[in-house]
Amino acid sequence: MRRAEKGQMARIDQVPGIGHKEATKLRKAGVRTSKALLERAATRRGRTELSKATGLGPKDLHLWVHHADLLRVRGVGSEYAELLVAAGVDTLRDLRRRNPTALLAKLIGLNGSQRLVSRLPTEAMVEGWIASAGELDPSIAS
């Protein structure tokens, strides 16, 4: 997967957990980027409306909004977001609460068994992600 360029949001199929079928349904509803998903599904009402338009479950949309929110963290592209999600980091709040050393150890272990990224993050990168997550307000309202 490619990382979104600075200032751009990731394509909808780069959000962790969104497969080809789901991405196609979201695109048909006009949701082509992670930013569009955050705008359309940040509220319960928005998720309900998008669920009706796509046939996708509101709970899945809720989870994907959190995953799309991780892509807003400085330095986290789609590959690193997928690695974070695999490590149990689903939300900005989860990331804020993590110990950088412990999280890095978990990421290294996961990548050793699952090969999710070609280049592992450094501890400084993980520290930066945690700091960046602390500066962001979650996009999800409810």
* pLDDT for residue 1 is more than 60: no
pTM for this predicted structure? 0.85
Give the per-residue pLDDT at 129: 98
How many independent structural domains does the chain possess? Answer: 1
* pLDDT for residue 5 is more than 60: no
Expressed as residue numbers, the domain containing 40 is 1-142
Q: What b/e string do you get for 4-30 counting C-beta neighbours within 10 Å, with b at 16 or more?
A: beeeebbbbbbbbebeeebbebbbebe
Determine the angle formed by the axes of helices 100-114 and 123-135, rounding to 10 degrees: 120
Give the per-residue pLDDT at 139: 86
pLDDT in tens, 101-113: 999 999 999 999 9
Q: Please count the helices (runs of H) and the strands (runs of E) in the chain.
A: 8, 0
